Amino acid sequence: MTHPLFQSMTQQSAYDGKPAQLVELSNAAGVSVVLMDIGATWLSCRLPIADEERREIILGVARLADFERQQSYMGVTVGRYANRIANGRFNIHDHAYQLTTNQVGNTLHGGAFGFDKVRWRIRKQTSAKVVFSHESPDGDQGFPGNLTVMVTYQLTEDNRIEICYLANTDKATPVNLTNHAYFNLDGAESGADCRDQRLQVNADHYLPTTDLGIPLGELASVGGTGFDFRQPKVIRQDFFADSQQEGAKGYDHSYWFDPSRETSMAVAALSSHDQKVKMSVFTDKPAMQLYSGNWLAGTPNRSGGEYADYAGVALETQFLPDSPHHPEWDQPSCVLEPDQTYRYHTVYAFDF
């Protein structure tokens, strides 16, 4: 049976006068994933829980008008640069660049018209995999270089969503791609608070920021702070335990992973409050932004209502925020050169 989003999301034309194109991936276990070409967006992920329940576990919308209205980046592919760049400015090879700014004077998630808003081309499609591509022209949102991007989503038979990012440029440019899905493993439309889920993050350091989310510059140990998730704990256990959380209204910070780690080991794990679903995150990215949905109130949901704050948690694998200003950090350079290929993978693996 066709997913209802195929009808509800295509009743209205997108910004270019054409309807959105949707793709559904499925496996023998009964997992269903729906993706959309606008924003190369992850719209839905339904798991066949025991007792015949099909649980939707990512936040989303059912109408394109609501997708265009929401400002929470639900499920989208974020680019060219995920997270923040201070003042929208950076220098590469002694050349200064000014980006469009879209959050209190800074550039957030690629600028005013980032990759989350454009129509991507569907290059390849099967029942288990879809490949999206996008050509970002020189000067797009102020970024240098013609950038070619491909994002592949694949659903495996062992219930893993594998996301592969590829990019090439003809001029040095910062690149930092991620997916911005919000997870609520107790059910996206259940009204459950994501802070009641259990989280583990295998990182010894996080990045303190200003109240505007701009890094203060130095990584800090999670030891003795509410940012310590090295042992699994309920997200709300140490909520607002630190001044850093108070400034952000919760968790909205990046964790830095040891570069010598085995990338076959999970960097994070999330478990539902009812213990029926567990999700493990694997990545070769150097960092991950933990965002506890602190400003979700007013964001449209699938039923015609609105989500509340803390309705879902985002685990965004990426470079550290504002990396163009911090070459001293121990991570690969966020600047992609013409003779290089940007190639990273992230996996969300589900047990239920």
Instruction: Please list the alpha-helical segments (H only) found in the chain.
Output: 5-8, 64-69, 243-248
Q: What is the pLDDT of residue 50?
A: 82
Could you give the 3-state DSSP secondary structure of residue 5?
helix
Query: Annotated catalytic, 93?
Result: no
89-98: long-range contacts at Cβ-Cβ below 8 A with a sequence spacing of 24 or more?
A: 90/174, 90/324, 90/325, 91/324, 92/144, 92/172, 92/173, 92/174, 92/324, 92/335, 93/172, 95/144, 97/142, 97/143, 97/144, 98/142
Query: Annotated catalytic, 337?
Result: no
If the chain, 352 residues long, is cut into consecutive pieces of 10 residues, what is the mean pLDDT of each piece? 92 95 97 98 96 92 97 98 98 97 97 98 97 98 98 98 98 98 97 98 98 96 98 98 95 98 96 97 98 98 96 98 97 98 98 97
Q: What is the pLDDT of residue 51?
A: 74
Return d(Cα 69, Cα 62) in angstroms, integer. Answer: 12
The answer to whether residues 289 and 323 touch, using CB atoms and an 8 Å cutoff, is no
Q: What is the pLDDT of residue 83?
A: 98
Query: What domains can you pick out in the chain, each with its CATH number?
Result: 5-12+20-194+294-351 (2.70.98.10)
Rounded to the nearest angstrom, the gap between the alpha carbon of residue 252 and the centroid of all alpha carbons in its chain is: 12
Q: Which of 180, 205, 273, 326 is catalytic?
A: 180
| Residue corresponding to tokens 């066949």 | 48
Q: What is the pLDDT of residue 349?
A: 98
Residues 6+ apart with CB under 8 A from 140: 80, 147
Binding residues: 83-84, 180-182, 252
